[in-house]
Each structure stands twice: as structure tokens, then as C-alpha cells.
Chains A and B, each alone.
Chain A
């Protein structure tokens, strides 16, 4: 409770760790547990663990059964995403230089350990181009570009990233979805689920708020029906029942299981996003719509320029946490026996050479999942403070 600002470290220790008898006992017990866990982990990671299983299966974990020789399709998107990350950090984040250098060092060490040859060269080029983008967009004043234009370029870049990747994967023969795997599949599923949810979710929310009963009730029925059952149920449904429900036109009933999983993820996330956006719509005062009508805007323009931007702005943190949930939910396609990250990990563990090396593999994939969602949750909390939401 007492918060004395002093430089004396002993004072700080006394006030924050040993302020009374109970606190001291708690500190000692906590310290014991912390030391036990820390040394246990340290000993496991650096001494006991045999990371060969991860090094050998690194390609399996990242790309799954992606055909060898076709990796060039992913290189442009990788470099573009690194450039966009660099630009976004320089525009929106206040990360200082030391943190960024540390981050790059850690990234470099990780990839130096696990990769060799051509792949590490590509990763190196991607990281360097990201750094270059950061430096260039940090000094945007020199190029006489306005900050707004830079922001627009970055946002359009993020929007175009997914179509670009999909086009590159399909031109000149292409790589079928059945060969996607590893983290790559997780990222693609999450990206498609999020983009589809952003497109259809607000539409559903508007439909639910509509004055027309013929639109309102089907929307309510859809949202509630989807939210009633767990995602894994819908995935199983897509696996066993969807082929019999789809028409045989254009071989629609023979579409790949990955595409079916994508359809389910889009439907699922749009139902949840619709509920979130509905909260934003309800928080808008009625005067906004009336003001738009007073200006003589038509219905479409009121919705598109007045209602939607404000409603979405109010619920951005909730949306980001829904995206995190969706990113974590992409592991569920493992139940359809796809080789996404968890499936690839299980395949790696099942190899006879690496019996009893489960903890290493699972720790590795847990760290990958954790990193992505932790970054997203940090972005979400930053946005919350920047938009000043929840404060009046």
C-alpha cells in the first residue's frame, strides 16, 4: 500500500517484499517456487532437452507437407509482411531502438540455430528489408511524404497482403490447399477467418438491427444457432455432413477439407464478430443517424460513413481479442487430422527416432502460438489506451 519513491534499493525491497510478517512469509514461499520453476526450466532447456527433434522437423513444423521447390511462392509475401511490420512499428509504436535491436538479435539467433543455407538467406533478406522499411518510414519527412499518406499505404499493404499470397499460391500450376501445413496453415486459416469475419460480421449485425422482420429474424437465428454449439462441432459437421448438403455442380461437394474448414471459420467468426459489432451499434446515440438524415444523406451513406466507423471504433479491443481467440482456435483443425502446427508436432513426436521427446516439441509450438497472441494482445491494450476507450 505504501508507495515511497526512493532510489534506495533496500527501502524498495522492504516496502514491496517484506512489509509485514505475512508478506515476508509469502515472499519467501514465492521466491522458493519461482527459483524452483526457473532453475527447472533452465536446466531442462539448456541441459536435459534434446532439441534435435525440432531442428530435424523444422520444415514440417513451419510448412507441413508443402511441396519442395515451391517455396518461392511464399517469399514475396514474407518480405512484404516484414516491410509492413517495420512500417507499422515506425508509424504507430513507440518501441525504442534498444528493444528493436534486441528483438532482431533474438530473431536472428533463433533462425541461425534452426535454419541453414538458402532459407536463412531469405529470412535474413526479409529481416533486413523490414529494418530498412522501419528506417525509411521513420525519416518520412525527408521524402516530403505526409504521415497520412504513409498510414494509408501501410493499411492498403496489409489489406492486399492476403490476396497477393493467395494469387501467388495459385498461379502457374499452384499448390493445392491439401498440401498446406504447419504454422503457415494456421496463419492462413486465421487470416481468412478474420477477413471473412470483418466482411460478414458487421453485415449480420446490421441485419440483426434491421427494421425488416424478414431480415432480422434469419440473422438472429443464424447468430444464435452458430454460437450455441462449439467450433469443433461445426468442424466435424463440415467434415461429415457438408459434402452431402452441397450440390454436385462444379464438383462443389468434393471441395478440399481445408477449404471446408475455412468456410466454417468464416461463418463462426462472423457470428461472433456480429455480436461484438452489435454492442458497438447499441452504444451509438440515436442522434447520429438523425444528424445524417438531417444532412440529406441516403440510407447507404449514413450506414457506411456515420454508423459503421463509430460502431467499429468503439469495439476495437473486443474485436482484437476475438481475433486472438480465432488464432488460438485454428489449432482445432487438428481434430480434422490436418497437419497444422499441432498436427505436425504430433507427427514429429510419432517418429521412431524421437520417442520420448514430446516436451521439447510441444514447448516449441506453444512458444510459437504464445508469441503471436501475446503480440496481438499487446497491440490491443495499446489501442485501448490510445483510443481512450472506457474513459469518459
Chain B
């Protein structure tokens, strides 16, 4: 039977012309039929985006950057949800990188106990599904914290209860906040340009200007001027526990992080941290041993050896795999929908429940995730180009 199949397939592909003709016609006709079928099916569904401008009619607990109310339109709700996702992704990336670096370096420690503890950490958290971890943190830990009235506090600054975690935060008040943020972005770009400009001047001169210090001083002075111009007031916002009548307590002020957010953040950063730790370990081990020995023979201390010799070289090997992990964080943040953190899928699910239009909604979700992934990979590719060796 195999021989017949092989002969048949080889008959189709015997001569170049016949092969080209057969394959092209069959695949194009298949694609055509598929597209026609799909468009007929889709034409029965509603595909316009008008439903997004109607009022949303549901409230959200987690908010960031936008001031969303339930009377706002659905597009604002969707934006709020995507900001929630982006906030989760950014913080999880920072934490997971820190955890990964620390654990990965301790995995290579000459101290037996520390190295074994790091190994156990990596083995446990890498091999357990992320969703199980998130649900465990949420149901078994964060929801089991004491009630708000019996919640714990650390020197009246940080409050912990089953309502979430409250920490002191800055209170930023201004009409011109967006202008300030925009101005800061421009300032950062300008100071990078200044740095490369001074670098260019330095190349042709004997006496060299300190380009890093100059650009940082320029940035700080200009930021202060901008701060003064836009009239922004920074105040430290301390959280307090207030009671409004018997058995009704509330947190006032501070930054409230809901148990959902805490659980997802903890799960994501611990899980991804264990993967990044393995990447860090692998890329440090991939360096030739002579590098460490050379650094020791020059007389660098342990810390200097790590930060000046080992990590910069290991970074070249690490960055592509770490980029992959960051993209995974972006996709894995969608698991927050299971425990009810108001991110893209949850909010889109509510909108679909209320208004239908599942296909346009899913199309928007895919585009949004693709955009976040693009931004991350563009940034990481830029970083990758900066740290690569330049061969002549």
C-alpha cells in the first residue's frame, strides 16, 4: 500500500510543469472554496463596529490611567481593559526578570545550599501549570486572608486583607498630566541624542567630556523645569482604614491592589521567573571558562566579575530567549480571565454577552495582543542590536 501511495504521489510530481499546475490549481481552488464558504457563513453574523460606541453598563474594579464609569462607551471599557493587561504585563516582566536573574545566578553559586535551593525552586515552578498556580494563589492564599476589619497592617503603611493589598502611593494632580508625560518622553529622546552628539565630539578630541553625566544633568534640569511649568503636585498618599458605621470598613487613599491582580502578578512572575532563571544559567554556562579565570587573574572582586565581565557577555546569548519569555508573559496574562481580573478577555466576554458581535470582538483582541507583542519585540530587538558584537 505504501508503494502504491509513493508511486501515485511521484506520478503527480513527475514533471515540473505538471507538478506546478497540479499543486497551484488545487491549493488555490481549495483556498477559494474555503474563503467563499467562510464569507457566506460570516455574512450571517453582524460584523460592524458600531456597537462599541454605545454605553457599556458595567463597572470595573481595576483601573489604570483611564477614569472609567459604567456610563462610558464600550470602547472606553475595552481601552481600560487593555491598559489593565498592559500594566499587568509590564509589572510581571519587571518582577520576573528580577527573580530570574537572582535565581539563575544563585543556581551557579559555589555555595551548595543556595544552588540546590535555586534548583528546587526552578523545578517546582517550571513544571506546574501556570493556571493551577494562579488559582492556588487566588483561592487558597489571597482569599483566605482575614476580613477587612481584622486585616493586618505593617506599621500603618501597608494593609493586607482579603480585599487586597494597599500600599502608599504618589498622588499626582494636574490638568496637564498628559503634556508632562509627553514632554518627558521627548526629553528622554533628546538626552539620548545629546549623549551620542557629545560622543561624536569626543571621538576627535584629546580632552573628553563626560557624556553620561552631562546628558543626565541635562535631563534632570529640564524635567524640573517641565515639572514647574506644568504645575504638577506630587503628594505621598498614605492609606488609612476608615469605618463608616458598624461593620462597614473601607480603605481610603493609597494604591489598592485587588487580590485578583496580586494573584495573577505573583503567579506570572514566579512562573516566568523560573524560566528566565534557566535561560540565565544556560547563557552564563555557555561562556568560555577562561573569561571567569581572566577576570579573577586581573583581580576583580566577585561583584565586579559578575557585572563587568560575565553578565554583559551572557546578555548577548540571553536576549533572544528572554524576548520569547516576555512574549509568553503577554499571552499568559490572558489567564487572568479565569479568576476575574478585568483584562481583555473578561471585558470582551462581558461585551459579547451584552451585545453579541463575537467575531469583531475577537478580531480586536487578536490585533491588540499582536500590537503588544510587536512593541515588546521591537524594543527587545533594538536592545539585542545594541549589545551584539559588531564585526568588521
Contact = CB atoms under 8 A, between A and B. Distances in A.
A91 to B, nearest CB: 25
A31 B337 CA distance: 38
Interface stretch (B120-128, B164-172, B215-223): B120-128
A300 interface: yes
Contacts of B144: 356, 358
Interface residues of B, number: 55
Given A27-B113, A241-B358, A342-B131, A212 B369 contact: no
A23 interface: yes
A320 interface: no
A230 B114 contact: no
A343 B14 CA distance: 54
B146 to A, nearest CB: 13
Nearest to A23: B111
A interface, over-half SS: helix
B45 A244 contact: yes
B24 interface: yes
A245 B38 contact: yes
B13 A298 contact: yes
Contact of B127 (A298, A332, A362, A370): A370
Interface in B264-299: none
Contacts of B112: 16-17
A366 B132 CA distance: 7
Interface stretch (B50-58, B70-78, B133-141, B200-208): B133-141
Contacts of B114: 26-27, 30
A349 interface: yes
Interface stretch (B95-103, B187-195, B359-367): B359-367
A215 B27 contact: yes
Contacts of B24: 212, 214
Contact of A30 (B20, B113, B131, B338): B113
A137 interface: no
Interface in B66-123: 109-114, 117, 123
Given A237-B362, A241-B362, A229 B338 contact: no
Contact of B123 (A1, A349, A366, A374): A374
A326 to B, nearest CB: 11
A365 B273 CA distance: 22
A103 to B, nearest CB: 17
A358 B135 CA distance: 10
Contacts of B183: none
A58 interface: no
Contact of B352 (A225, A240, A244): A240
Interface in A98-153: none
B128 A366 contact: yes
B177 interface: no
Contacts of A370: 124, 127-128
Interface residues of A, number: 54
B366 A212 contact: no
Contacts of A329: 129
B127 A299 contact: no
Contacts of A218: 27, 31
A346 B124 CA distance: 22
A365 B132 contact: yes
Interface centre among B44, B135, B358 (most CB of A within 10 A): B135
B358 A328 contact: no
Contacts of B335: 230, 232, 332
Contacts of B41: 244-245
A215 B23 contact: yes
Interface in B1-51: 6, 9-10, 13, 20, 23-24, 27-28, 31, 38, 41-42, 44-45
Given A215-B23, A374-B127, A230 B331 contact: yes
A233 B366 contact: yes
B370 interface: yes
B373 interface: yes
Nearest to A373: B127
Contacts of B129: 328-329, 331, 342, 369
A16 B369 CA distance: 47
Interface string A152-196: 000000000000000000000000000000000000000000000
A373 B352 CA distance: 36
A391 to B, nearest CB: 12
6 contacts: A19-B111, A30-B111, A30-B113, A358-B136, A374-B123, A377-B126
Interface of B: 6, 9-10, 13, 20, 23-24, 27-28, 31, 38, 41-42, 44-45, 109-114, 117, 123-124, 126-133, 135-136, 139-140, 144, 302, 331-332, 334-335, 337-338, 345, 349, 352, 358-359, 362, 365-366, 369-370, 373
Given A34-B117, A228-B370, 5 more contacts: A233-B366, A244-B45, A331-B129, A366-B136, A377-B126
